[in-house]
Structure 1
Amino acid sequence: MRIVVTNCNTTQEMTEEIVRGARAAADPGTAVTGLTPIWGPESAEGWLDSHLSAAAVIDLLRTYDGPPYDAVVMAGFGEHGREGVRELVDVPVVDITEAAAHLACLLGRRYGVVTTLERSCGQIEDSLELAGVGRNCAAVVGTGLSVLDMGDAARTEAAFLTAAERACRAGAEVLVLGCAGMTGLQRVVGEKLGLPVVDGVGAAVKLAESLVTLGLTTSRAGSFAKPVPKRRVWGRPGDRGGERG
């Protein structure tokens, strides 16, 4: 089985960190390939970045010419694009936001998300609502750290623990790592907090493996039905182009 994991930004070091986390969660027979967009935001932090990132990731998968893959894991927490990718590819697509929330709902009545900047919280809340798991979310709390700050493990852990206390006071019984850059933090903070902590990358990989093993993929009835074939002229930022019927 081969799983493609897409980073939501152009930072190759983050792709490598995400892939390490994905491989740690994957079964021995699962190959994990990381993909980094060639254009878009260096770190996706906000509405504009998220929409640019979605277009860049979709373009990355649309032009992919590597080995065949069995599933896609989208490693952007709260980022846009998962519905577009589900329409584009013919394999299961698992978003880390959705995956982490679904697993958290199996572990407690209410969960909390600890993420990066406060400005990202509303976007994550909307993503959870769209996925149908928003009602179980007690709080989405920012650490005040940017995506690119996640490389400082001690600082990230301290900021996470402080934000986690706020989520717990709001009623969270389970915590979710709200950034792919936090992958690997779940064990140490879980032990210190005495609560289950769900890593979205690991959760998404295990759900993707399950869907492939069960022979399941995105339904083509209704929402994700393939569009009527038409001639498309694709362009990239700065190119002139559009869509022709």
Structure 2
Amino acid sequence: MRILVVNVNTTVSMTDAIVASARSVASSGTEIIGLTPSFGPDSCEGNFDSYLAAVGVMDAVARYQGTYDAVVQAGFGEHGREGLQELLDVPVVDITEAAGHVASLLGHSYSVVTTLDRTVPLIEDRLKLAGLDARCASVRSSGLSVLELEEDPEAAVKAITTQAQRAVQEDRAEVIVLGCGGMAGLDHAVRAATGVPVVDGVTAAIKLAEALIGLGLSTSKIRTYATPRTKRLSGWPLGAVHEVS
């Protein structure tokens, strides 16, 4: 099987890190293909960035020429998953929802540790929309921007671990979720510091995507995620592929 893993921002080094994390848990017969949007923000930290990124992600997937069996959207709390589900006939798994579902299987409550405080409401909204908010004890900010995660990995681990420990001690979280695709690969360090299960959305999404493919299941197209109606998209940056259905 082949899974497309789409970074929501245009930073290629972050795509590479996300792909490496995805491949670390993928089954031997699973091929992971990383995609980076050709336009959009270099990091997503707010609604404006997120809506731009959603278009860039849909464009990147639409322009991919090969075949694939599922798509993973690697952006935590970002918009666009619903659009992909309308466009595609294969399973689409968002790392935010994947992480929340997996965390809910591991403990009574979970906390998310993310980047800047301004992204907290976006994540809270996405979890609520997915029906995963009832088990979420808190969404905590590490105070780091997305790009700072790469610039100073040691400081990133320290900041994330500090908030994860506070979530366990103060918010009574029993599971920690890493709330950014750029945090892929940090789960072992946070687990060692907190003593609780730590869920990385990228790896969780890969395993869920593999499961859906194996079960022969994909998005229902009966109503909410029905294929978009045919229409001309004037001045739209998306490829002509979207003009026919």
Relative to the length of structure 1, the TM-score reads 0.93
User: 1:72 is aligned with what amino acid?
Assistant: V
Provide, for residues 72-123 of structure 1, a one-character-per-residue CA deviation record: whole Å limited to 9, x for no partner.
0000000000000000111000000000000000001110000000110000
Q: Which amino acid aligns with 1:81?
A: G
Residue 222 of structure 1: aligned partner: 223
Residues in 1 aligned to 2:192 and 2:206: alpha-carbon distance in whole angstroms = 23
- Give 3-state SS (helix, strand or coil) of 2:138's partner: strand
Give the aligned partner of residue 54 of structure 1: 54
Which residues of structure 2 form unaligned runs of 5+? none
Aligned to 1:240: none
* Secondary structure at 2:228 match in 1: coil
Q: Assess if the C-alpha contact under 8 Å between 2:87 and 2:228 holds in 1.
A: no
Equivalent residue, structure 1, for 2:98 = 99
1:177 alignment counterpart: 178
1:25 Cα shift?
1.1
Which residue of structure 1 aligns with residue 17 of structure 2?
17
TM normalised by structure 2 equals: 0.93
What do residues 202-224 of structure 1 show as CA deviations (whole Å, max 9, x unaligned)? 00000000000110000011211
Deviation at 1:234? 5.4
CA contact (8 A) 1:114 1:141 kept: yes
Deviations 1:110-152 (A, max 9, x none): 1000000011000000010111101110000010111111122
* Mapping for residues 182-221 of structure 1, pairs under 5 Å: 182-221=183-222
The answer as to whether partners of 2:41 and 2:53 remain within 8 angstroms in 1 is yes
Q: Which residue of 1 aligns with 2:144?
A: 145
Q: Is the 8 A contact 1:141 1:166 kept in 2?
A: no
Q: Secondary structure at the match of 2:227?
A: coil
Percent of aligned positions that are identical:
55
**What per-residue deviation string (whole Å, max 9, x for no partner) do you get for residues 40-92 of structure 1?**
00101111100110111112122222x20000000000000000000011100
The worse-fitting range, judged by mean Cα deviation, of 223-232 and 210-219 is: 223-232
> Are 2:27 and 1:27 equivalent residues in the alignment?
yes
Which SS does the other structure have where 2:32 is aligned?
strand
| Offset of residue 233 of structure 1 | 4.1
CA apart distance, 1:35: 0.3
> CA shift at 1:165, angstroms?
2.5
* CA–CA separation in structure 2 for the residues paired with 1:135 and 1:117: 23
RMSD over equivalenced CA pairs, Å: 1.4
